[in-house]
Amino acid sequence: MADPAAKQQERLAALLQEGRTFPPPEEFRRQANIRDVKVYEEAQRDLEGFWGAQAERLDWFKRWDKALEWNAPWAKWFVGGKLNAAYNCVDRHARSERRNKAAILWEGEPGDSRVLTFGMLEREVNRFANALKSLGVKKGDRVAIYLGMVPELAIALLACAKIGAPHSVVFGGFSAESLRERIQDAKAKILITGDGAWRRGNVVPLKHHADEAIQGAPSIEHVVVVERVGKAAHAAMKEGRDFWWHELVAQASDQCDPEAMDAEDLLYILYTSGTTGKPKGVVHTTAGYLLGVSTTHRMIFDIKENDVYWCTADIGWVTGHSYIVYGPLANGCTTLMYEGSPDYPDRDRFWSIVAKYGVNVLYTAPTAIRTFMRWGAEWPAKHDLSSLRLLGTVGEPINPEAWIWYHENIGHERCPIVDTWWQTETGMILISPLPGLTATKPGSATRPFPGIEAEVLDERGRRVGPGAGGYLVLTRPWPAMFRTIYGDPDRYVNQYWSRYEGKYFTGDGAKVDEDGYFWLLGRVDDVMNVAGHRISTYEVESALVDHSAVAEAAVIAKAHDVKGQAIAAFVTLKEGVQPTEELKAGLKQHVANKIGAIARPEDIFFTPELPKTRSAKIMRRLLRDIAEGRVLGDTTTLADPAVISKLKQQYEEEGKGE
Ligand code: WTA
């Protein structure tokens, strides 16, 4: 009898055979929101008509005059229209039959939970919007938010939107220094944080980080603190500057008129890593963004009135902004928020949540799926997952093995999978199956969404043929596209729109197959993707050279089974510094302190010299070859080819930098 592992391998190979596709199950197709393939053709023919028709689903205080004004690379959508994002996400539902429907289902890590109906959410948002006003926040003022995944995080976003104060959410895992940098760039007036956050039963000291960040961030006038952890957080409040959230809202009225925002008014800023050390403030505006995220959410996740929808991302990232808060709530959909880690208290936490709330649509990341694979199928098998009818993934390319595992062990071969490609900059999903229409292929994000036009180009801007790799670009504007980089319009133009005149350069490699399906191949720039998080090599390098022992550092991403990529750093020490194991550990911690734990290098490797070209450019490509154990690529441009061969030998002898 063949052993089970070999059998499994054989079956997988058969499933993944060239050309194997997964058409929508008949039962799913029949009930799907989008069943007619004409949607692609219609949007292609009349882009403004397509989005204009979708825009009727939003509530407008004043109708727009013109759907699109496009002077590449500058876009204006729904010119002349007036609306409010929070009104669309909350108030209008609270005034309808949805009043007593769950808007947010919240599950705390320690096991506590909270349900906010649309009616309750409206009152909470209004109270906090009034609290912000009482602290002097006016339309246009920026508000920084640094919180764990508590309901107040969603409430804070919506309260900002209600009064027209753009928010800038900073992921709660970032360091004080990263927070400060972002506060300073946006010149935020208010910081909303927590006493602490729960993570695997431990306390993340948010307030301590916040206090440290504010030193040197004079724009902050007040700090609002959500009490989550209590005494264990040891948070200190500064008289006159700091206020408890619960005390502020206790005094605030639950009535608040929405600010009538211009379609193009700033909704939020979200910082992301680019190809320099300095994070970029990606700017999203009101109408186009809300329309883009709500339309894609409804069509791609096939949302039905009574669905429970769960996106497992953190609201600190764009996925949480678009597909936990704005998209679902604009659609009047019940959105689930989970505070903690997937292995707390045990490795079946996600599956117990799916069973507890009867989750219908689950949206998560390949890195999570690979982790679950490693933990074993027995964990999901313990729970009733029969409520699930659709699965999604985002954040990085999904390897076919993980896709099949997800399909079999979570979807029980019944749920279509939507592999969704998009970016902080794009605001909304741009390449994805429509689950009632598209036959999927494991590992492919399939086709551009209706109205989206994507191409794969070579260096010189020519379209490459089927199966050949190239650069992914977008050639037509879309409503949720970012409008600029905050305070740096030149960077917007140069970085995204100049490589190919008038086309948006995504920074991703891709290929298109014979059926017109897109296969994403990862970043082609110096952005790494570690467990679905964007980190620039330069950020980590600057953090390393900031350490007193370091002379020079080169950082690369190397392939990693679970995280997709892991950070490896090649470090040259200053004269006289000893390359010890303690120093390695110290450097890793230093990077974590400077940026956040997500940027902690997996490997650090000490080397007397780094491979450089004659013009002194570090050849990261060769370092990647070394770290991934490949034969070295072309070394002819090196100033001293001996450096790299010595380095390779040393790396192999020392056992991969560990
Ligand atoms: C990568 C996250 C392959 C890609 C929404 C992109 C993906 C970067 C996919 C954006 C996918 C995201 N397949 N790669 N389905 N989704 N990516 O800004 O490299 O955090 O450029 O936005 O993630 O990351 P960001």
**What does the pLDDT look like over 506-527, one tens digit per residue?**
999 999 999 999 999 999 998 9
For residues 247 and 225, give the distance between their C-alpha atoms in angstroms, rounded to a whole number. Answer: 10
Q: Are 316 and 172 in contact (CB under 8 A)?
A: yes
Cα–Cα distances in angstroms (integers) from residue 144 to residues 169, 537, 557, 608, in the given order: 6, 25, 30, 42
Contact, 224 vs 193, CB < 8 A? yes
Does the C-beta of 209 come closer than 6 Å to ligand 1?
no
Q: Cα(504) to centroid of ligand 1, in Å? A: 15
Q: Ligand 1: distance of its center to the CA of 211 in Å?
A: 32
296 lines ligand 1 (CB under 6 A): no
Residue 310 has a pLDDT of: 98
pLDDT of 12 strictly over 90: no
Nearest CA to ligand 1 atom 11: 421
CA of 237 to the centre of ligand 1 (A): 39
Which atom of ligand 1 lies nearest, measured to the CA of 419? 15
Whether 394 lines ligand 1, by a CB cut-off of 6 Å, is yes
Smallest CA-to-CA distance from 525 within 503, 543, 509 is with 509
Beta strands 417-420 and 390-394, pairing class? parallel
* Cβ of residue 437 lying under 6 Å from some atom of ligand 1: no
**Residues 368-398: pLDDT tens digits?**
999 999 999 999 999 999 999 999 999 999 9
Nearest protein Cα to ligand 1, atom 13: 397
With tokens 């009135």, the residue in question is 305
**Residue whose CA is closest, atom 5 of ligand 1?**
423
pTM: 0.96
Closest CA to 196 of 187, 186, 207: 207
pLDDT tens track for 178-234: 999 999 999 999 999 999 999 999 999 999 999 999 998 999 999 999 999 999 999
pLDDT at position 18: 58
| Rounded distance from Cα 439 to ligand 1 centre (Å) | 21
Q: Confirm if 93 and 77 have CB atoms less than 8 A apart.
A: no
Residue 277 confidence class, pLDDT cut points 50, 70, 90 = confident
- The pLDDT of residue 275 is 76
Protein residue with its CA nearest to atom 15 in ligand 1: 421
Q: Ligand 1: which atom is nearest the Cα of residue 272?
A: 18
pLDDT surpasses 50 at 1 = no
- Which residues share a beta bridge with 560? 564
Q: Which atom of ligand 1 is nearest to the CA of 506?
A: 21
Q: Is 421 in the pocket of ligand 1 (CB under 6 A)?
A: yes
Nearest-atom number in ligand 1 for the CA of 431 is 15
C-alpha 395 to ligand 1 mean position (Å): 4
CA of 534 from ligand 1 middle (Å) equals 8
